[in-house]
Structure 1
Amino acid sequence: MRTIPSRIIAVRDEGKDRRTITVLNKEIAEKAQPGQFIMVWIPGVDEIPMGISHIGKEEIAFTVHRIGEATNALYNKKVNEYIGARGPYGKGFKEVDGNIIVIGGGTGTAPLIPLIKRLYEKEGNNVTVINGAKSIDEMVFKEELNELTKMGKIKYMPATEDGSLGYKGLATTLLEEVLNKMEKPDEIYACGPESMIKRVVEIALEKGIHVQALVERYMKCAIGICGSCTMDPIGIRVCVEGPVIPIETLARITELGVYKRDSSGRKTKI
C-alpha cells in the first residue's frame, strides 16, 4: 500500500503526554475496520504503527503517547501540517453480539473506541467498558465514555491505580469483580499493556470466556516480511495474523507479557 500525504485537521489532548490526532484520508477511512492499524510516517523522523481510534467518512484518528523520538515528533504536530499514512493493516475484531465486556489499559483504550461504537449501535447489546490507567491524568477518552454512559449506550467503569478516578486498583482486578457479579459475558475484548492482556487471558481461561485482544508490538514493514513483530513459540506475526488475536492463539504464546523485541530484533523483558 502506498503512503498517502494526510493533512491534520484536529488535535485533542487526552491527558498527560497523550493526544488524539485526526487526519483527512478518505482512502483509509473507507477500508478501515475496528482493530486494524496504520503505519504513520513522520517526515524526517521515522515510520511507526498506530492503532485507529476513530473511523469517519473521510477521516481517521489515532492516539499517540509520547515516549520516544518518533512519538514525541508526532505528538507535537499541529493542525494543517502533514504526515504520511498507509494501511489499514492486520486483522480487526470479529463482532459478537450479546453481553460484552471491553477492557482497555492506558492508551490501549484508544483503538477500542471504534469497536465500542459499533457494538452499542446494535440493538440488544449490553456493553460494559472497563477503562484502566495509573491515574486520571493518564486515562484517555474518559469524557467521551462517560457521556456514552449518560446517554445509556454503555456502562462505563474507570479504574485507576491511585484511586484518582473510579475504582482504586488494576483494571484486571475490577474485571474479576465484575465477572463474579454478572452473567457470563458472550465476549471480552481487550487492549493495553501485555501484562494486562496476559492476566485477562488467564481470567478468561479459568471462567471459560472467549477473548479477542489487540496486541501492540514494534513493527517495521506491516506486511509480514521483516519478522520484527513475531511472537514465540508459534511464530505468529502480529502485523498479519494480528493485531487482534483470539484467546486460543494467545494461550499458546509463551512470551506474551514476558518479553518483546526492540528495533534490532533483540528480546527484552517487559
Structure 2
Amino acid sequence: MNNEYMPFVSEILDVKKHTDIEYTFRMSYTNETEVKPGQFFEVSIPKYGEAPISVSGIGKGYVELTIRRVGKVTNEIFEHYVGDKLFLRGPYGNGFDVNLYKDKEVVIIAGGTGVSPVRGVIEYFSNHREEIKNLTLIAGFKSPQHILFAEDFKKWEQNMDVIMTLDTNEGDSSYREGLVTNYIKDVTITDYSNVAAIVVGPPVMMRFSVSGLLNEGLKEEDIWISHERKMCCGIGKCGHCKIDDTYVCLDGPVFNYTKGSQLLD
C-alpha cells in the first residue's frame, strides 16, 4: 500500500527573485505533462513542516513554484539555493483546463500572488494565440516594488491586451492606478455567448471582480475562480479545507463560479 503522505526529493534548478519576500523556485519534476496550472504541490522540509504552493510554471523536466516568505516553513525554504533539494508531494487538486477556453474571448483578472496560479494559462495562450479569439489580462499589484513576473508582462504585452494597475503608482505614469475592478469596463468583448473569464486573488477582490463581470453581461457559468487560500493537506484527510460537503483540495481549488460561489466559509 502506498503512503499518500510520502514526498519525493526535488532539486532546485533555478531561483528567481521578484520582491524581497516573493521568489520563484524552479523544481525538477519529470512528469510535467500531468500538471495543470492552478494545481498545487506540498513543499516540505523535515523538522519544519510543509506548505501548499500553487504551480506558477510548467516546463520540460520542471515545475515552478512562486513562494511568499510568510512563516516558519517558507522562511526556511528561502534559505535554500540552486542545487539544494526540497521535498514535494503532488500535484494535487483541480487546475485550469486550457481546453475549456479555446476558441473563446478570454478575460483573466488576477491580483498580487493570484497571478501565479494563472500564469500557466496566460503563458499557454501567449504561445498559442491562434487558439483563442482574444485575450485580455488585468493584473493588480500594490506598488511597482510588488510586481511579479515583470519580464513575462513585457512579453505578454506583445500577444494580448494587458492592463496592469497599481494601488499606488508612486508618481510613475507608465502604470495605471486604482483597483482592477475599475478597468473591467475597458475590456472589449464582441460576443458574450463565446467568452470565458478567470478571476484569482484575495477574496474581496474576486467578489467585486466577478460582480463587475456579471454587470458587463457575462454569465456565471462562463467564470472560473480559485479558492487557493483554502489548500491544506491535499488529499482530503485533515478537513481544514472542507466547506459543507466539498473538499477544496480535492474538488478545487479551481471551480466554475456556479459551484465556487456557493462555497462560503
Name the residue aligned to 1:112.
118
User: CA shift at 1:160, angstroms?
Assistant: 0.4
Name the residue aligned to 2:26.
22
Q: Normalised by the size of structure 1, how large is the TM-score?
A: 0.85
Name the residue aligned to 1:70.
73
Equivalent position to 2:179, from 170, 173, 176: 170
Name the residue aligned to 1:143.
151
Q: How does 1:1-270 map to 2 (within 5 A)?
A: 1=4, 2-27=6-31, 29-95=32-98, 96-97=101-102, 98-120=104-126, 121-125=128-132, 126-149=134-157, 152-164=158-170, 166-175=175-184, 177-179=185-187, 181-183=188-190, 184=192, 186-206=195-215, 207-209=217-219, 210-231=222-243, 234-255=244-265
Residue 7 of structure 1 aligns to which amino acid in structure 2? E
Residue 5 of structure 1 aligns to which amino acid in structure 2? V
Name the residue aligned to 1:265.
none
**Structure 1 pair 74–119 and aligned structure 2 pair: CA distance change class (3 A):** same
Q: Secondary structure at the match of 1:201?
A: helix
Q: Secondary structure at the match of 2:229?
A: coil
**Contact between 2:225 and 2:256, CA under 8 Å: does it hold in 1?**
yes
**Contact between 1:167 and 1:174, CA under 8 Å: does it hold in 2?**
no
Residue 75 of structure 1 aligns to which amino acid in structure 2? F
User: CA shift at 1:82, angstroms?
Assistant: 0.8
**Contact between 1:201 and 1:251, CA under 8 Å: does it hold in 2?**
no
Inter-partner Cα distance in structure 1 for 2:251 and 2:214 = 21
Q: Normalised by the size of structure 2, how large is the TM-score?
A: 0.87
**Contact between 1:6 and 1:83, CA under 8 Å: does it hold in 2?**
yes
Residue 190 of structure 1 aligns to which amino acid in structure 2? V
**Structure 1 pair 94–220 and aligned structure 2 pair: CA distance change class (3 A):** closer
**Contact between 1:217 and 1:229, CA under 8 Å: does it hold in 2?**
no
Q: Secondary structure at the match of 1:51?
A: strand
Runs of 5+ consecutive residues of structure 1 not aligned to the other structure: 256-270
Residue 132 of structure 1 aligns to which amino acid in structure 2? G
Task: Describe the superposition over 1:176-219 as per-residue Cα deviations: whole angstroms up to 9, x where unpaired.
Answer: x224x543471111211111112222223333332111221244
Inter-partner Cα distance in structure 2 for 1:250 and 1:218 = 12
Residue 206 of structure 2 aligns to which amino acid in structure 1? I
Q: Secondary structure at the match of 2:250?
A: coil
Inter-partner Cα distance in structure 2 for 1:172 and 1:53 = 23
Q: Secondary structure at the match of 1:60?
A: strand
User: CA shift at 1:124, angstroms?
Assistant: 4.7
**Structure 1 pair 73–198 and aligned structure 2 pair: CA distance change class (3 A):** same
Q: Secondary structure at the match of 2:42?
A: strand
**Contact between 2:42 and 2:52, CA under 8 Å: does it hold in 1?**
yes
Residue 12 of structure 2 aligns to which amino acid in structure 1? I
Inter-partner Cα distance in structure 2 for 1:13 and 1:220 = 25
**Contact between 1:52 and 1:111, CA under 8 Å: does it hold in 2?**
yes
The number of residues matched between the two structures is 248
Inter-partner Cα distance in structure 1 for 2:231 and 2:122 = 25
Task: Describe the superposition over 1:236-267 as per-residue Cα deviations: whole angstroms up to 9, x where unpaired.
Answer: 22101101011101222333xxxxxxxxxxxx
Task: Describe the superposition over 1:18-70 as per-residue Cα deviations: whole angstroms up to 9, x where unpaired.
Answer: 1000111213x231012111111123211111101111111111101111122
**Structure 1 pair 112–66 and aligned structure 2 pair: CA distance change class (3 A):** same
Inter-partner Cα distance in structure 2 for 1:109 and 1:219 = 17
Residue 146 of structure 1 aligns to which amino acid in structure 2? K
Report sequence identity in percent. 27
Residue 14 of structure 1 aligns to which amino acid in structure 2? H
